[in-house]
Structure 1
Amino acid sequence: MHPSMHALSSPQKPAIIIAETGQAMDYWTLDAQSNRSAHALRALGMQRGDVVATLFDNAVEVFVLGLAAQRAGLYLTSISNKLSAADVAYIARDCGAKLLVASDAYLPLAEQALLDTSDLRLFAWQKESIVARSWSDLASPYPTSPISDQAPGTDMLYSSGTTGRPKGVKFPLPEGGIDHPTPLMTMGTSLYGMGADTIYLSTSPLYHAAPLRWAMTVHRLGGTVVVMRHFDAEQTLKHIEQFRVTHATFVPTHFVRLLKLPDDTRARYDHSSLRAVVHAAAPCPVPIKQAMIDWWGPILHEYYSGTEQCGITALTSSEWLAKPGSVGKAVLGTVKITDDDGNELPVGSEGNVFFANGPAFQYHNDPEKTAKAYDRNGWATLGDIGRIDEDGYLFLTDRKSFMIISGGVNIYPQEIENCLVAHPKVADAAVIGVPDEEMGERVLAIVQPAAGVQAGIPLGNELCDYIRSALGGVKTPRAFEFRDELPREPTGKLMKRKLVEEFRTKVAAAA
């Protein structure tokens, strides 16, 4: 199935609705505008296997250009609009994009990012500037019929690591027609009952892998995607009732915020249209998930995967109630638990979580990182530690890295630490994630001030502003602690595990 088929069978059916404004785009218009954009891409010299980068808001252009890239055989690199200009520039260059298209609101950020990148063409969705053309004006004269050489494309999205810069996750281009099936289509239909009658609420930024992929999957199935520009707990309930939402995806932080609404607010809205609520991206605390099931019924579904999509596990509410804390059984690939030498461990043993027989991927421009993601058996890992029980259910017990997941967003501390130690008032720094009831984890910076520098709130505020300017708000620590000295081994290696255990104990004691 493909959106172009639904444009023929149900041309006036809404494909996209912007929840806050009611702006809608039907399937005929989505198909027509994506065809025009595909023609424009070809006119600009874009050929199968090339990369187009985007810097979009949660808006219709995500789907118009996304579908155009998909039917033109391109890689789509969707860049977070929360990044700093330096990060946007890095990803735009690293992915090898020939052009960057930005929502009008993010044109200033795109222009700043591309100041020193003269070989990459810049477009705004509608506006024009001295350095950017209007994509809508460029595409509008082209035909609404398909390009003659349609071929399936895919995404190449950037996944946060534990050290260094993020890397693009690259898959082989799909073969066959543009309607080639995907793993999410199979999951959506077989596990969640998605189809042409689906009204799907997209609650998260569409530059992330899961929200983008699920929304485009719903379009393949012929459903309607209701897009929230920004998550708001009460507005989510309002939209569920208003649009008679049948399916939705969330991260655990969303559940926390929904549950914190006053009882009378939660009772005010009708959620009876919901058939399946899917969550992923971060571990969901058992009490939070239990409370959501108590409220919405046994319609919660969970899955575990990553941008790499080398494997997927999934489970229903009834399975979770029998196996609380589990992330399910494999629905893509086969779960393997190994020791550090690659030897498979018996049932119940804790070890490295790998997937066998899953889709192949590589980290773009990083063969060393790609090699580390695979073991000697050819199995791939997302870097987590866990165990499988006697019934084949996976339980995640720890992260092999110290990656922080805050509100469903992956944050790697090394970059923040590198930024901090470059500040003249900082002698040493460590960044860790500590438990947070709402966000899952929050970013904490532990700083050793330089000699003669006074620790305290003014210094914390200065460092906060410094990091926000350099790295963007998402990576800015929410709290600062100051120490005379950080624990390091004689070799100089930071003993971060000690800090993690100390601060998690403090948070638990204060709860």
Structure 2
Amino acid sequence: MEAVAPSAAGAPAIRCAGQERDYPAFLERAARIATGLCRTGVERGDRIAVVLRNEPSHLEITTAAALLGASAVPVNWHFQHDELRHVLTDSGSKVVFVHTDLLDGVAAVLPDGVPIVEVPLPAGVAAACGIAAPPPTGRYPLLDRWLEGCEPLDRAAGDHPPTVIYSSGTTGRPKGVLREPVAPDRLDEAVRLFLEYFAVVPGGRTLIPAPLYHASPSQHAVLALAAGLDITLMPRFDAEEFLRLIEAHRIEQVQVVPTMFVRLLRLPKDVRERYDLSSLSSVVHAAAPCPPHIKHAMIDWLGPVLREYYGGSETGAVTWCDSAEWLAHPGTVGRATGSCGVAVLGPGGRPLPTGATGDIYLKPADEWPQFTYLGDPDKRAAMEAPGLPGYVTIGDIGHLDADGYLYLSDRRNDMVISGGVNIYPAEIEGALLALDGVRDVAVFGIPDEEFGEVLAAHLQTEPGVLLSAEAVRAHVGERLAGYKVPRAVVFEERLPRDESGKLFKRLLRDPYWAGRDGVI
């Protein structure tokens, strides 16, 4: 991947927590890293692992790998032990770039013979993450020393290389999604559509607040670089710092997840009104269902600048809707655009009528690369829709309305069957987030001798707020059917989410099912 030359006006740059590179400096350093990779034996088609927090070096290393026709595999730096070992081994990475404070965890599980390049943790990134920046260990080559004598690579691969992104492991072992190489003309079309759907112009200003080890922010960054956007990275999401950066850099476009909306709306009104957000023209969100009352509140605050898409690591964005479409179809995640398609199927692959809930199958855009799973082609084959070539499921359930707009019910793996009735926890979670004093919630099924499963709700409250289980049940019972009222209500100090807001629900659910047949 090569970034387009930015225009002189505005001098787009890449910045994060006190670091800033203009595009010439960024591309020169990426080309030197590419030479360093060649010197280390990395070739076209190989993979390297990037175990770094958000900072410019992350993007430089990713760009360097692409210049060679190799793939940079962004690794979730929260992974521990077996998860980390699995990704580093399964990816077959030839070199690993690691921040100093993460070295011990990586070194303990890295396959023998794989070289490590140590990347000092920038002070600004450390401060944003609330940790002290440790001194270099001296056990491994430091990035700048590793680059000594490396002239910029003077050649570039033709096609955009295959890419690998790992799931966050919220439902089990992380799986590697391998995307095929992309021809230059298809990459050009992907960049054009990115600019159109994200409502940003070449050289425009974007903010990336989510970790680059996730598929959406990673793809966002790749396309933003290819479009020559001015890019501001956040080392970690902080609601008020998010607003400050928008004002300071006159950010025009940002991509977020609904959890960030919740945290922004929790800010005191005077704090939210302290910052000038008038530069914003596009706030894109995806990755999880957004409770309707949260989205209404965000549109009331920011105006009709919200845009939503739905898809997965495997498919890219398939459906889109802007604020006006969503207000006309509350709760939708949009409808298929361009060459994309959506189908809702029942048992045996039978197409379901409008309004009927079933398994969602998606047809990616023509310019989106084909994919498989590293080491698991059978899993890829199992995703195919019977009788609908090119359509795959990523495990969600929902329905289409008469206008072709899609509505999500829940993940199939999260659906609870209680006494033969299908229950979708996302609906209950949305109701509980509207309860004063509730900051976060997870609803899931737990074993029950009579009904097979009943509902449990684990909640995190605002500091100083005391709620009773009875109040929680009464709130749900006043809004939803009685069988959707949680049987068990547990209050947690904090729910297990990662930096982007993804919830590791299995960590809460698995203990209830431990020792039962077919479950851990």
1:393 aligns with 2:418: no
Residues 418-444 of structure 1 deviation map (CA, whole Å, 9 limit, x = unaligned): xxxxxxxxxxxxxx9983637764388
Residues 466-507 of structure 1 deviation map (CA, whole Å, 9 limit, x = unaligned): x99xxxx97598879998x9997xxx467x9xxxxxxxxxxx
1:259-408 matches, within 5 Å, as 259-309=265-315, 312-331=318-337, 333-356=340-363, 358=365, 359=368, 360-376=370-386, 377-378=388-389, 379-402=391-414
CA contact (8 A) 2:4 2:225 kept: no
CA contact (8 A) 2:354 2:399 kept: yes
Match of 2:53 among 43, 46, 57: 57
CA contact (8 A) 1:333 1:355 kept: yes
CA contact (8 A) 1:124 1:135 kept: yes
Match of 1:258 among 264, 267, 277: 264
Distance verdict in 2 for CA 1:4–1:403, change over 3 Å: farther
SS in structure 2 of the partner of residue 274 of structure 1: coil
Residues 45-102 of structure 1 deviation map (CA, whole Å, 9 limit, x = unaligned): 2122111111011111111001111221112210011111331121010011111111
Residues 155-179 of structure 1 deviation map (CA, whole Å, 9 limit, x = unaligned): 20112567542210011112347x9
Instruction: Return the letter of the residue paired with 1:194.
Output: V
Q: Distance in 2 between matches of 1:131 and 1:326?
A: 52
CA contact (8 A) 2:355 2:399 kept: yes
Instruction: Return the letter of the residue paired with 2:360.
Output: V
1:6-155 matches, within 5 Å, as 6=6, 10=8, 13-18=11-16, 21-114=17-110, 117-126=111-120, 129=137, 131-147=139-155, 149=157, 151-155=159-163
Please name the residue that 1:180 is paired with.
187
Q: Distance in 1 between matches of 2:503 and 2:290?
A: 20
CA contact (8 A) 2:315 2:362 kept: no
Deviation at 1:263, TM superposition (A): 1.1
SS in structure 1 of the partner of residue 117 of structure 2: strand
Residues 130-159 of structure 1 deviation map (CA, whole Å, 9 limit, x = unaligned): 652223322242223533555522420112
TM-score calculated relative to the size of structure 1: 0.77
CA contact (8 A) 1:11 1:27 kept: no
Root mean square deviation, CA, Å: 3.5
Q: What percentage of residue pairs aligned between the two structures are identical?
A: 32
CA contact (8 A) 2:100 2:137 kept: no
Distance verdict in 2 for CA 1:46–1:270, change over 3 Å: same
CA contact (8 A) 2:83 2:174 kept: no
Q: Distance in 2 between matches of 1:198 and 1:346?
A: 42
Instruction: Return the letter of the residue paired with 2:342.
Output: V
SS in structure 1 of the partner of residue 375 of structure 2: coil
SS in structure 2 of the partner of residue 66 of structure 1: helix
- Greater mean deviation of Cα atoms: 253-262 or 319-328: 253-262
Distance verdict in 2 for CA 1:387–1:148, change over 3 Å: closer
Residues 430-470 of structure 1 deviation map (CA, whole Å, 9 limit, x = unaligned): xx99836377643889799xxxxxxxxxxxxxxx99x99xx
Residues 97-117 of structure 1 deviation map (CA, whole Å, 9 limit, x = unaligned): 111111223222222232xx1
Q: Distance in 2 between matches of 1:277 and 1:367?
A: 36
Distance verdict in 2 for CA 1:439–1:104, change over 3 Å: farther
TM-score calculated relative to the size of structure 2: 0.76
SS in structure 2 of the partner of residue 305 of structure 1: strand
Instruction: Return the letter of the residue paired with 1:158.
Output: Y
1:157 aligns with 2:165: yes
CA contact (8 A) 1:338 1:354 kept: yes
Number of aligned residue pairs: 438
Q: Distance in 2 between matches of 1:58 and 1:441?
A: 27
Deviation at 1:293, TM superposition (A): 0.2
Instruction: Return the letter of the residue paired with 2:284.
Output: V
Distance verdict in 2 for CA 1:196–1:439, change over 3 Å: farther
CA contact (8 A) 2:318 2:364 kept: no
Please list every run of 5 or more consecutive structure 2 residues that lacks an aligned counterpart in the other structure: 121-134, 417-424, 449-492
Distance verdict in 2 for CA 1:107–1:123, change over 3 Å: same
